[in-house]
Amino acid sequence: QDLEKKDQSQQSQVQTLENSQAQLQNHRVAFHAGFYTSTEEGSYGPFDVGTVIKYKKVLTNVGGGYSADTGEFTAPLKGTYVFSFVVHTTNNTFTSLMKNSEALVYGHDKSVTEKWDSTTGVAVVTLEVGDRVWVKLQPRFRFSAFRGFFNTFSGFLLFPM
Protein backbone atom coordinates (compact mmCIF):
# COMPACT_ATOMS: atom_id res chain seq x y z
CA GLN A 1 0.00 0.00 0.00
CA ASP A 2 2.76 2.31 1.01
CA LEU A 3 4.59 1.35 -2.17
CA GLU A 4 1.51 1.99 -4.28
CA LYS A 5 1.16 5.46 -2.79
CA LYS A 6 4.78 6.23 -3.55
CA ASP A 7 4.25 5.03 -7.08
CA GLN A 8 1.35 7.37 -7.63
CA SER A 9 3.32 10.28 -6.28
CA GLN A 10 6.20 9.43 -8.62
CA GLN A 11 3.83 9.14 -11.54
CA SER A 12 2.61 12.66 -10.87
CA GLN A 13 6.17 14.01 -10.66
CA VAL A 14 7.09 12.35 -13.95
CA GLN A 15 3.96 13.81 -15.58
CA THR A 16 4.93 17.32 -14.44
CA LEU A 17 8.43 16.86 -15.85
CA GLU A 18 7.09 15.62 -19.18
CA ASN A 19 4.74 18.58 -19.46
CA SER A 20 7.39 21.19 -18.81
CA GLN A 21 9.81 19.48 -21.19
CA ALA A 22 7.13 19.38 -23.90
CA GLN A 23 6.59 23.10 -23.27
CA LEU A 24 10.31 23.75 -23.77
CA GLN A 25 10.17 21.95 -27.09
CA ASN A 26 7.06 23.79 -28.21
CA HIS A 27 8.58 27.14 -27.38
CA ARG A 28 10.54 27.44 -30.57
CA VAL A 29 10.02 30.82 -32.14
CA ALA A 30 12.48 32.39 -34.62
CA PHE A 31 12.24 34.39 -37.85
CA HIS A 32 14.39 36.19 -40.44
CA ALA A 33 12.93 38.16 -43.33
CA GLY A 34 14.22 40.57 -45.96
CA PHE A 35 12.83 43.67 -47.64
CA TYR A 36 13.42 42.71 -51.18
CA THR A 37 12.88 44.35 -54.53
CA SER A 38 12.95 42.60 -57.87
CA THR A 39 14.60 45.62 -59.45
CA GLU A 40 18.32 46.16 -59.16
CA GLU A 41 18.27 49.32 -57.09
CA GLY A 42 15.78 51.74 -55.64
CA SER A 43 14.67 53.87 -52.77
CA TYR A 44 11.75 53.19 -50.41
CA GLY A 45 9.99 56.25 -49.07
CA PRO A 46 9.69 58.99 -48.05
CA PHE A 47 6.10 58.99 -46.74
CA ASP A 48 4.27 61.66 -44.77
CA VAL A 49 3.56 59.32 -41.88
CA GLY A 50 5.42 56.59 -40.02
CA THR A 51 5.17 53.36 -42.01
CA VAL A 52 5.56 49.65 -41.23
CA ILE A 53 8.38 48.15 -43.28
CA LYS A 54 6.97 44.92 -44.71
CA TYR A 55 9.71 42.33 -45.14
CA LYS A 56 8.19 40.09 -47.80
CA LYS A 57 11.02 37.59 -48.36
CA VAL A 58 10.70 35.20 -45.41
CA LEU A 59 13.74 32.96 -44.97
CA THR A 60 12.97 31.61 -41.47
CA ASN A 61 9.66 31.52 -39.59
CA VAL A 62 9.66 28.81 -36.92
CA GLY A 63 6.54 29.10 -34.77
CA GLY A 64 4.78 31.34 -37.27
CA GLY A 65 5.01 34.60 -35.30
CA TYR A 66 6.04 36.76 -38.26
CA SER A 67 3.56 37.83 -40.93
CA ALA A 68 4.82 39.03 -44.31
CA ASP A 69 1.35 40.50 -44.95
CA THR A 70 1.48 42.93 -42.04
CA GLY A 71 5.27 43.11 -41.57
CA GLU A 72 4.69 42.49 -37.87
CA PHE A 73 5.82 39.84 -35.44
CA THR A 74 3.06 38.94 -32.97
CA ALA A 75 4.16 37.22 -29.75
CA PRO A 76 2.58 33.73 -29.60
CA LEU A 77 3.45 33.43 -25.90
CA LYS A 78 4.66 35.53 -23.00
CA GLY A 79 8.41 35.60 -22.71
CA THR A 80 11.65 37.46 -23.31
CA TYR A 81 12.60 37.91 -26.97
CA VAL A 82 15.55 39.25 -28.95
CA PHE A 83 15.08 41.29 -32.14
CA SER A 84 17.38 42.94 -34.66
CA PHE A 85 17.13 44.84 -37.92
CA VAL A 86 19.54 46.04 -40.57
CA VAL A 87 18.82 49.00 -42.87
CA HIS A 88 20.96 50.19 -45.79
CA THR A 89 20.89 53.68 -47.21
CA THR A 90 22.52 55.86 -49.82
CA ASN A 91 20.61 58.88 -48.57
CA ASN A 92 19.02 59.70 -45.20
CA THR A 93 17.26 57.03 -43.16
CA PHE A 94 15.63 57.09 -39.75
CA THR A 95 14.04 53.89 -38.48
CA SER A 96 13.05 52.36 -35.17
CA LEU A 97 12.30 48.93 -33.81
CA MET A 98 8.86 49.16 -32.19
CA LYS A 99 7.01 47.19 -29.49
CA ASN A 100 3.44 48.24 -30.21
CA SER A 101 3.84 52.06 -30.13
CA GLU A 102 7.06 52.14 -28.05
CA ALA A 103 10.54 52.48 -29.60
CA LEU A 104 13.11 49.89 -28.43
CA VAL A 105 16.10 51.07 -30.47
CA TYR A 106 16.63 53.63 -33.23
CA GLY A 107 18.64 53.45 -36.43
CA HIS A 108 19.53 56.86 -37.85
CA ASP A 109 21.93 57.17 -40.74
CA LYS A 110 22.30 60.28 -42.81
CA SER A 111 24.58 59.40 -45.66
CA VAL A 112 26.26 61.69 -48.13
CA THR A 113 25.81 61.57 -51.88
CA GLU A 114 26.88 58.36 -53.58
CA LYS A 115 27.86 56.73 -50.32
CA TRP A 116 26.58 53.39 -49.01
CA ASP A 117 25.90 52.96 -45.35
CA SER A 118 23.98 50.76 -42.92
CA THR A 119 22.58 50.89 -39.40
CA THR A 120 21.80 47.88 -37.20
CA GLY A 121 19.61 47.75 -34.10
CA VAL A 122 19.29 45.07 -31.43
CA ALA A 123 16.83 44.87 -28.53
CA VAL A 124 15.96 42.40 -25.77
CA VAL A 125 12.38 42.78 -24.56
CA THR A 126 9.71 40.95 -22.58
CA LEU A 127 6.42 40.57 -24.46
CA GLU A 128 2.89 39.61 -23.46
CA VAL A 129 0.89 37.34 -25.77
CA GLY A 130 -0.24 39.42 -28.73
CA ASP A 131 2.33 42.22 -28.40
CA ARG A 132 3.46 43.31 -31.85
CA VAL A 133 7.07 44.09 -32.83
CA TRP A 134 7.82 45.86 -36.12
CA VAL A 135 10.25 48.22 -37.85
CA LYS A 136 9.06 51.76 -38.47
CA LEU A 137 10.27 54.04 -41.22
CA GLN A 138 9.98 57.50 -39.71
CA PRO A 139 7.98 60.18 -41.60
CA ARG A 140 9.88 61.91 -44.43
CA PHE A 141 12.83 59.47 -44.39
CA ARG A 142 13.76 56.77 -46.87
CA PHE A 143 16.02 53.76 -47.15
CA SER A 144 17.66 51.92 -50.01
CA ALA A 145 16.01 48.77 -51.33
CA PHE A 146 17.83 46.32 -53.53
CA ARG A 147 17.55 42.77 -54.71
CA GLY A 148 18.89 40.62 -51.86
CA PHE A 149 19.06 40.82 -48.09
CA PHE A 150 20.24 44.40 -47.57
CA ASN A 151 17.33 45.20 -45.25
CA THR A 152 16.40 42.52 -42.75
CA PHE A 153 14.26 41.96 -39.67
CA SER A 154 15.00 39.03 -37.32
CA GLY A 155 13.94 37.78 -33.93
CA PHE A 156 13.63 34.84 -31.61
CA LEU A 157 12.19 33.74 -28.28
CA LEU A 158 14.89 33.61 -25.62
CA PHE A 159 12.76 32.02 -22.87
CA PRO A 160 9.03 31.75 -22.00
CA MET A 161 7.80 33.28 -18.74
Return residues touching a copy of itself (CB under 8 A).
Answer: 3-4, 6-7, 10-11, 13-14, 17-18, 20-21, 24-25, 28, 30-32, 34, 59-60, 62, 80, 82, 84, 86, 88, 92, 94, 96, 103-112, 114-126, 148-150, 152, 154-156, 158-159, 161
Q: Which region holds residue 22: left if phi is over 0, alpha if psi is between -120 and 50, else beta?
A: alpha
Report CA dihedral (121, 125, 130, 134) to the nearest 10 degrees: -10
Q: Which of 35, 17, 16, 2 is nearest to 144 (CA)?
A: 35
C-beta separation of 153 from 70 below 8 A: no
Nearer to a copy of itself, 43 or 126 (CB): 126
Nearer to a copy of itself, 20 or 38 (CB): 20
Least distance from C-beta 49 to a copy of itself, angstroms?
A: 18
